[in-house]
Amino acid sequence: QVRLLESGGGSVQTGGSLKLSCVVSGSTDGGYCMGWFRQVTGKKREGVASLYTYRGVIANRDYAESVKGRFTATRDNRVNTLYLQIDRVDPEDTAMYYCAAEPRPSIDGELYSCPRDNDQYRYWGQGTQVTVSS
């Protein structure tokens, strides 16, 4: 079991940058899918990025088409934190952002691709709000 705590949201002007953090409590060494999602009030939660982590290795990062080239998901294993770098922000990026985790134990060291479907993730943080002004 893991616990997730996001931070780093706030207000930013169009064209600026923001870096969201998600501190992971608990071990993910056995293999986990990790994802970043966002949700606008009244709309369905959208998966924007996913990656697989196993024994400190990050693999198979995947992004929604709408954010490719602007969003970058990374992880610093020294502080057990997942990040989402958001560049050239746009008002359409305004949303509550969540990180999520789902155990997926690696078999024989295999590194898996991870989904961006929110119903595939068991553990969620409380979210951090990003507001982009024009």
- Residue 7 in this model has a pLDDT that exceeds 90: yes
CA 39/CA 11 separation, integer angstroms: 16
Q: In the predicted model, what is the mean pLDDT of residues 29-51?
A: 96
Beta strand pairing call for 32-39 and 95-103: antiparallel
Contact between 60 and 54 (Cβ < 8 Å): no
Contact indicator for 102, 47 with CB cutoff of 8 Å? no
Rg (CA), the chain: 14
pLDDT in tens, 53-84: 999 899 999 999 999 999 999 999 889 999 99
Q: How far apart are CA 96 and CA 45, in angstroms?
A: 9
Write down the pLDDT at residue 13: 97
pLDDT tens across 82-101, in order? 999 999 999 999 999 999 99
Contact by Cβ (8 Å): 84, 130: no
